[in-house]
Structure 1
Amino acid sequence: MRQVQRQTQAQKLALTQVMRHSLALLSMDADELQDAIRRQQSRNGFLRTPPPAPPSGNTGEVRADTAAQESATDDLLRQVSLIRLSPRQSLLARDLVYSLDDRGFLPDSPEETADYLQCNLSELKVLLPLLQQGTEPAGLFAWSLADSFRLQLQARNRFDPLIERLLGRLDLIARQDIDAICAACEVDREDAVEMLDDIRALNPAPLVRQSAVEPQPSAPELLFTTSDGDTCTASLNESALPQILTDDALFSATMAAETDARAQSYYRDCYRGAASMVRAMQKRANTLLAAGQAIADHQHKYIRTGRARDKLPLTMAQLAHRIGVNKSTISRALSNCRIGTDLGVLPAGHFLARPVSDEAPDRTRDHVLNRLRLLVETEDPRCPLSDEALARQLVKARLPISRRTVAKYRQFLDIPGAYSRKANGGA
């Protein structure tokens, strides 16, 4: 036996983070989108919901952000007032609340903090654990990102010496380098993945209060608007689509305040994740709009009249070819999509129809059903048409189907056979 070495080269397509997000979001309905965004916001302070647009002027966003920050501060002050503290500690605790940065961290060193609060380090060391354990969300009043993660893990009962060692290498967590984590913490891959998942589920900016994402599950995501001519326009229903964006101001402030290079690496990764989510939502909206407009262009007559005979054949494959995407992308995008029209709110699949056969690519099943019903209604009741005769009549109308299919469609329309129709007609 002779051993032979061969070298082969293979090409593989790797999905980017944006592509993975886009594929996952495409098939979600409004409720699932809301849950997905809420989960991402709980672990990424740089992903936020924009405030409602102000009625006039351009200061609404600043005022909304200021109000949110004031609300968070007031809530913290209320929580602190419920902790059993001495009068001296209560005064220091109140000052510490106003000392927190946008993330909920103490930005200065312990020595500097003690200096401008005019207290001793020993007082801070006694007071801070009380505030860290007595306020929510977990992770506030931390000196650093790693310290905040420690507090959050302790609150979840997930803190141990191994994960403590990993918190010293936030750069590895940002890169999600499993092999490097295994080497640094001396663990196997399973433990490394588990620790990484635990940390990636934490919020790097726990003080950031997110606005509630409340899309309307009953509202259609697309709207069809007909004009006086033969055109129909598709548009996105903004009220039914969650609105998210990256918090650039928070990211800039965080990077300016953070001096640890490894923590900066982690924050950059979080910001990229938030930007990836925003782009994925935009790609989803663009795909829905493109698919909706292609449907509107093809089915404009049916959308105007609502008559089944005006619906033209249109398959997912044809729709995907029209807008230049894969069929699976269209399938995901339209699986839970609902469209508002003058006919009512209808699922996107309602506007798709397969041709009755290759010989009649411009006719659909609805055309056959309507024609079959008309043939039976206009037949001589004393000599009703058999299934074979109905099939011949349909062929003459350019609707070629077999006698067997005629029988199936007749049963679907709840039309009895020729013998029963004759007996009823004779009676």
Structure 2
Amino acid sequence: MRQTQRQAQTQKLALTQTMRNSLALLEMGPDEAIRVISRERRRNAFLVAIPTGAPGGGSPAYDLDGPSQETALDDIGKQIGLIRLTRQESELAIGLLHSLDDRGFLADSFDDMAGYLGVSVNDIARLVPLLQEHVDPPGLFATSLAECFRLQLEAKNRFDPLIETLLGRLDLVAKQDVPNICALCGVDEEDAIDMLKDIRSLDPAPLVDKQDVGHVQGAPEIIIRTGADGGLQAELNQDALPSILTDDGLFSTTLNTETDGNAQSYYRDCYRSAANMVRAMQKRANTLLATGNAIAQRQEKFIKSGRSRNKLPLTVEQLASEVGVHKSTISRALRSCRIMTDIGTFAAKEFLALGLASDQAAGKTREQALQRLSLLIMTEDQKRPSSDDQLMRQLETAGFKLSRRTVAKYRKMLAIPGAHARKVL
């Protein structure tokens, strides 16, 4: 018996989280995708939605650092007015309000703020916890990202010593490093994942406006219109899914303001998540548009007439070849997509048609063959109904070269009995 040793090299394709997110978004309908975007925006200040009808479709129709933030500061000022404070404390509270950075944090040290506000450090130290407790949303007036998260967790009654330990290592939260979180907090994997979910659902910039993304519910994602030249052209329906982008200015300001390395790691992770979602949505839009144009070109006769018999053979594989992507990508894109045309709105899969084998009837679809077979039987002499052989020859004359066995199979699919059972005496 002889022992041998061999080396083999294998290569595996691993799906990254970004790729998985991109594929997941691709197969969502517009309403579901909007919910995913809105959920991410509530925890990620670096993801911005461009409202429907924004000028040129390139920039938000509102000023991210202007009116929306002023409105938020006005609202916080009103909340401060409801707290029972002395006149001196009220004036200091307004001073602290205008000391908040873009996130809603007190980024300056108490010593610095005491200097430019003309008060003592103790005055600030006594008032800040009061503001943190009574002003919404939770997390405002925090002095660090960890403290901001602590305030939000306390408001949800989810703060405990274990999660307090994890807040000291937000870099592990950013990496979603479950093994090291288990070791740090002395918990099992299930508890570590639960703590991760709790923290990653929190808002790292509570002052930034995160209103829901507006869209028209149930709107089709693709519109195919007839152009001035009579040809068909597909376009994305902006009412169905507004565009999104990253707030690079806020990210840059945040990193320049934040000095804690662990907090910087967390903010970088948020920005990467926002950028990945922007890329995923752009890929989704590109795939849908290319698919819509391929359908418009292939099924022009059907779209203009509305008659199903005018459909040409078109499969997922053919669409994938024309668009230049894998067939699974097209399948995902079509799963929940709806297309509006001059003759109505359809599920995207309605534009597909299974073709007959090329050696039987090139350019013909199974649906067309079934319709022609049904018509032949409906118009036959009921006293002398056609056999499957005769139907085969009649179909061949009409351009459908099918075998007798296929004709019999199609007849059964139509729930039509054989010639003997159809004969009327």
- TM-score calculated relative to the size of structure 2: 0.89
- Within 2, Cα distance between the matches of 1:340 and 1:422? 45
1:9 Cα deviation (Å)? 4.2
Q: Which residue is 1:366 aligned to?
A: 367
- Structure 1 residues 365 and 260, CA gap change in structure 2 (3 angstroms): same
1:74 Cα deviation (Å)? 1.4
- Structure 1 residues 85 and 281, CA gap change in structure 2 (3 angstroms): same
Does 1:408 pair with 2:412?
A: yes
- Structure 1 residues 15 and 406, CA gap change in structure 2 (3 angstroms): closer
Q: Which amino acid aligns with 2:402?
A: P
1:204 Cα deviation (Å)? 1.0
8 A Cα contact 1:368 1:399, kept in partner? no
- Within 2, Cα distance between the matches of 1:86 and 1:14? 62
Deviations 1:237-279 (A, max 9, x none): 1221232111111111111211222222221111111111101
Deviations 1:144-170 (A, max 9, x none): 111101111212222222221222222
CA RMSD of aligned residues (A): 2.8
- Within 2, Cα distance between the matches of 1:43 and 1:3? 58
8 A Cα contact 1:225 1:232, kept in partner? yes
- Structure 1 residues 128 and 296, CA gap change in structure 2 (3 angstroms): same
- Within 1, Cα distance between the matches of 2:41 and 2:108? 26
8 A Cα contact 1:294 1:319, kept in partner? yes
8 A Cα contact 1:363 1:399, kept in partner? no
- Within 2, Cα distance between the matches of 1:190 and 1:294? 47
Q: Which residue is 1:163 aligned to?
A: 163
Q: Which moved more, 1:288-297 or 1:1-10?
A: 1-10
1:32 Cα deviation (Å)? 0.5
Q: Which moved more, 1:87-96 or 1:7-16?
A: 7-16
1:86 Cα deviation (Å)? 3.2
User: 1:91-106, aligned counterparts within 5 Å?
Assistant: 91-106=91-106
Q: Which moved more, 1:167-176 or 1:263-272?
A: 167-176
1:217 Cα deviation (Å)? 2.6
Q: Which amino acid aligns with 1:362?
A: G
3-state secondary structure, aligned to 1:234 = strand
Q: Which amino acid aligns with 1:374?
A: L
Does 1:384 pair with 2:385?
A: yes
Q: Which amino acid aligns with 1:124?
A: I
Q: Which residue is 2:118 aligned to?
A: 118
Q: Which residue is 1:329 aligned to?
A: 329
- Structure 1 residues 187 and 381, CA gap change in structure 2 (3 angstroms): closer
Q: Which amino acid aligns with 2:241?
A: L
- Within 1, Cα distance between the matches of 2:198 and 2:4? 46
- Within 1, Cα distance between the matches of 2:2 and 2:137? 66
- Within 2, Cα distance between the matches of 1:93 and 1:129? 11
Q: Which amino acid aligns with 2:33?
A: L
3-state secondary structure, aligned to 1:404 = helix
Q: Which amino acid aligns with 2:202?
A: L
- Within 2, Cα distance between the matches of 1:235 and 1:301? 18
- Structure 1 residues 28 and 68, CA gap change in structure 2 (3 angstroms): same
3-state secondary structure, aligned to 1:356 = coil
User: 1:258-337, aligned counterparts within 5 Å?
Assistant: 258-337=258-337
- Within 2, Cα distance between the matches of 1:99 and 1:87? 19
8 A Cα contact 1:103 1:204, kept in partner? yes
3-state secondary structure, aligned to 1:217 = coil
1:293 Cα deviation (Å)? 1.4
Q: Which amino acid aligns with 2:245?
A: L
8 A Cα contact 1:298 1:312, kept in partner? yes
- Structure 1 residues 188 and 291, CA gap change in structure 2 (3 angstroms): same
Q: Which residue is 1:349 aligned to?
A: 349
User: 1:130-145, aligned counterparts within 5 Å?
Assistant: 130-145=130-145
8 A Cα contact 2:107 2:257, kept in partner? yes
Q: Which moved more, 1:193-202 or 1:284-293?
A: 193-202
- Within 2, Cα distance between the matches of 1:393 and 1:149? 76
Deviations 1:14-68 (A, max 9, x none): 2234312210101111111111011101111101113566779x99856464110
1:323 Cα deviation (Å)? 1.8
8 A Cα contact 2:52 2:214, kept in partner? no
8 A Cα contact 1:100 1:106, kept in partner? yes
3-state secondary structure, aligned to 2:66 = helix
3-state secondary structure, aligned to 1:147 = helix
- Structure 1 residues 365 and 131, CA gap change in structure 2 (3 angstroms): same
Q: Which amino acid aligns with 2:237?
A: N
Q: Which residue is 2:394 aligned to?
A: 393
Q: Which amino acid aligns with 2:155?
A: A
- Within 1, Cα distance between the matches of 2:355 and 2:211? 47
- Within 2, Cα distance between the matches of 1:169 and 1:2? 54
Q: Which residue is 1:212 aligned to?
A: 212
8 A Cα contact 2:52 2:239, kept in partner? no
The gaps in structure 2 that reach 5 residues or longer are none
Q: Which amino acid aligns with 1:312?
A: L
8 A Cα contact 2:139 2:206, kept in partner? yes
- Within 2, Cα distance between the matches of 1:385 and 1:82? 89
8 A Cα contact 1:313 1:364, kept in partner? yes
1:7 Cα deviation (Å)? 6.0
Quick one: percent identity of the two aligned structures? 55
Q: Which amino acid aligns with 1:393?
A: Q
Does 1:24 pair with 2:28?
A: no
8 A Cα contact 2:315 2:352, kept in partner? yes
